[in-house]
Amino acid sequence: MEGATSNPAVPPAIDDLEEQAAARVAAAVCGKRVVLLGELPEHGEARGFGVKARVVERLVAQCGFRAVLFEAGSYDFFGLERAIATAPRGPGGTPAAGSADSLELALGRAIGGFWWTRELAGWRRWLLHEAVAGRVAIGGLDDQPGATAAYARATMPGLVGAAVPPARSAECQEAVARHFNWGYTEAVPYDSTEKARLAGCTRLAADRATAVRTPAGPGAPDAVMLGDLASYFGREAGVAGAPDRDLAMAQRLAWWSARLPKDAKIVVWTATTHAARGPGRNPVLPRRVPPLGARLAEPWGDGLAAIGFTALQGQRSRAGGAIQPLAPLPPHSLEARALAAGTAGDVAEWAYLDPAALRSLGPVPSRLFGEVATTDWSAAFDGVLVIRDEAAPTFEPRR
């Protein structure tokens, strides 16, 4: 992996940390149907990224997982899916050189700026290779378009314009294009009127697309994207009944489960604030709504595993922003106690807390939800991976 050399703050020992910690986490969740891999909600920790990448590789290669889904907009993953299907192939069925570069760029844009890092470059190439070979489906769960969503920017205005009645086509297409290009002015600001226009246009487009859908099944990608955009703009406009992000992601995961072969196993790359099974027993709600993990706990039961990732100390950087230190933790924090106690198989640089270990701690402070909070973390996670020293990722230029 490139993380050992691309950032001088990350020592060579990171490879051992990643492999050993990943083996422990993967072994704990290998038999599950849906695995949520969290990370600190700032999305800016290179070592956590590296361990998660190795966990995903092990789940695919050793445990039969067949889908990798991200806390990222659905739109550009559908664009990538179409690009893979139509890419020119060279000898052995692999994408031709030029198309391979294009597909790598499309995957980076789909995953988004948080994870467009040099440390994950090799892993992204592996993931693309698995997707091109048909061994793994990759997709986005979020209805919120990302800043790097080039396919959504190019496609969604025309898709909305074509789905609404002709009398509203130009108005709706222009409104969606204006938003994706952030073309607001004093004359046309992003205010309540514009939000209502976007919500109305996209809901109309989504409803009409659903009405004309004929085949049975989970729905075509275009209809899914229109539904996601309507969901997002409905929430932006404060429309009654519009789903919150975690509910929207839970609904999209259900769509993927219906689309995949029966009993296919799914791993989700997300934040701890979304992965949590519940708020804890105090309670502590990370987002003031039931998290994605809590929405999945009932339908998936024991087939679900929610794994939190955290760190005792170190640095972070969010999407290429300034490198910042992680805030100090109290000496009795989950992170400090996990690394001080140690369990069989742990090494000095990391510790894994299984359900019994989490229960034994009782209510303790932790940064798992970003801000330090005290709760019984066994109610929120099926396991927690604690890294002693985090490091900021090296972000790649966005294209």
Instruction: Give the model confidence (pLDDT) of 112-127 as tens digits.
Output: 989 989 999 999 999 9
Hey, what are 330's tokens?
């109290």
- Residues of the chain with pLDDT below 50 are 1-13, 214-216, 281, 344-347
CA atoms lying within 13 Å on the CB side of residue 211: 8
- What is the model's pLDDT at position 216? 44
- Calpha distance 322→391 (Å, rounded): 13
Residue 284 class from Cβ within 10 Å (0-12 exposed, 13-18 middle, 19+ buried)?
buried
Hey, what are 327's tokens?
């805030």
- What is the model's pLDDT at position 342? 53
- What is the model's pLDDT at position 214? 46
Global confidence as pTM = 0.91
Hey, what are 383's tokens?
């396991």
Strand partners, 69: 139, 268
Sequence-distant (6+) residues with CB within 8 A of 9 are 46, 315, 391, 392
- Calpha distance 74→163 (Å, rounded): 19
- What is the model's pLDDT at position 38? 97
- What is the model's pLDDT at position 396? 83
Q: Classify residue 117 by its DSSP letter.
A: B
- What is the model's pLDDT at position 135? 95
- What is the model's pLDDT at position 203? 97
- Calpha distance 331→312 (Å, rounded): 10
3 state SS of 276? coil
Asked if 156 contacts 75 with a C-beta cutoff of 8 angstroms, the reply is yes
Residue 165 class from Cβ within 10 Å (0-12 exposed, 13-18 middle, 19+ buried)?
exposed
- What is the model's pLDDT at position 399? 65
